[in-house]
């Protein structure tokens, strides 16, 4: 249990004078990204998120902080970088524990699942990706040659569950077979870009008509350029499958196509990428020991496979 006087001492490292802890304020994003987090209010009424970090994640957390500062300085205003302690230092050590602080960003809760059909959100989400791609062209401290491969991930995942989860393996094997038919060779030749890595509506802090912030950058890095597009579409469909042919997805894809920033060969793999990324979500549900979500994800994977022609036509690709 972390007490108020301890939180006060940690915040003082950043020159923040604690007024009170705001346990009444919910924090957007996944709580799995840290050991502990809380909203703190200072004596001027400003709000901050204080996070306690696991030691094994410190190198990656430093890289995330560096990247967010870089993007913020490039003018990507939807990025909220961590507060620095000094030049290029964003993580503090106090009593052998690691801490970081970021500004709290308020927003409007999504009306789930109805938001997944609201067309105006499509161009807004697309606009953020376009801005991200343009402002991250020279992120020199990430290696393009180390781009993430969903093919390698999925093959490793399937190998692991083949004997451990034979019933689940049987359910998703048709989708895996489909991806092996042409996607594997196409995937190796897709252009890569710097990606958020977990881009979906619940990792956006929304205003009434736009984006206040994009959060949870744990999976950032170079990936095939269609990655974030596929992640967004797949997560919308998981919220409500009918949304895959709805206005939000249509307007999202339309705006991205109009930008001309995505290669035609990447668009041709959009459906396959949407499907392939669901294996990563399935892996996560298994790690969380959530049988209900495991079953739901397996059903969703089959739904995607069975209706692929409908979705491809709807997206205009």
What HEC string does 106-172 produce? CCECCCCCHHHHCCCHHHHHHHHHHHHHHHCCCCCCCCHHHCCCHHHHHHHHHHHHHHHCHHHHHHH
Helix (H, G, I), strand (E, B) or coil at 100: strand
Evaluate whether 242 touches 308 at the Cβ level (below 8 Å): no
pLDDT of the residue at 33: 82
pLDDT of the residue at 140: 80
Query: Which stretches in the chain have pLDDT values below 70?
Result: none
Task: Give the tokens for residue 60.
Answer: 């990656």
Average pLDDT over all residues of the chain: 96
Question: Distance (Å, rounded) from C-alpha 129 to C-alpha 132?
Answer: 5
Evaluate whether 249 touches 243 at the Cβ level (below 8 Å): yes
Cis status, amide bond into 270, omega within 30 of 0: no
Name the one residue in this structure whose structure tokens are 């990706």.
Answer: 129
Q: What is the pTM of this model?
A: 0.96
Interacting residues of 173 by C-beta distance below 8 A, sequence separation 6+: none
pLDDT of the residue at 32: 86
Can you list the domains of the chain with their CATH numbers? 4-103 (3.30.200.20), 114-315 (3.90.1200.10)
Q: Interior CA angle at 162 toward 160 and 164, to 5°? A: 70
Please choose, from the candidates 225, 222, 152, the residue with its C-alpha nearest in 3D space to the C-alpha of residue 191: 225
pLDDT of the residue at 235: 98
């Amino acid at each position: 249990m972390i007490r108020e006087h301890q939180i006060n001492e940690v915040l003082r490292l950043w020159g923040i004078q604690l007024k009170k802890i705001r346990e009444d304020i919910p924090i957007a994003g996944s709580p799995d990204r840290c050991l502990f987090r809380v909203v703190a209010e200072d004596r001027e009424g400003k709000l901050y998120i204080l996070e306690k970090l696991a030691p094994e994640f410190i190198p990656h957390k430093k890289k995330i902080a560096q990247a967010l500062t870089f993007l913020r300085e490039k003018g990507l205003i939807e990025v909220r970088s961590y507060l620095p302690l000094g030049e290029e230092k964003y993580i503090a050590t106090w009593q052998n524990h690691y801490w970081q602080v970021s500004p709290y960003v308020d927003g409007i809760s999504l009306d789930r699942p109805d938001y997944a059909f609201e067309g105006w959100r499509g161009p807004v989400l697309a606009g953020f990706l376009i801005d991200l791609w343009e402002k991250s062209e020279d992120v020199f401290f990430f290696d393009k040659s180390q781009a993430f491969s969903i093919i390698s991930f999925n093959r490793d995942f399937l190998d692991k569950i083949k004997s451990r989860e034979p019933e689940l393996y049987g359910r998703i094997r048709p989708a895996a077979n489909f991806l092996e038919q042409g996607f594997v060779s196409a995937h190796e030749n897709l252009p890569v870009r710097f990606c958020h890595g977990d881009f979906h509506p619940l990792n956006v802090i929304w205003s009434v008509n736009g984006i206040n912030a994009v959060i949870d950058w744990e999976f950032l890095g170079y990936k095939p350029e269609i990655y974030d597009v596929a992640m967004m579409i797949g997560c919308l469909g998981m919220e409500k499958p009918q949304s895959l042919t709805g206005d939000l997805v249509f307007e999202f894809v339309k705006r991205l196509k109009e930008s001309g920033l995505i290669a035609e060969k990447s668009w041709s793999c959009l459906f396959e990428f949407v499907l392939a990324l669901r294996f990563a979500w399935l892996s996560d549900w298994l790690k969380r020991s959530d049988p209900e979500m495991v079953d739901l994800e397996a059903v969703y994977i089959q739904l995607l496979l069975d209706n692929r022609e409908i979705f491809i036509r709807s997206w205009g690709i």
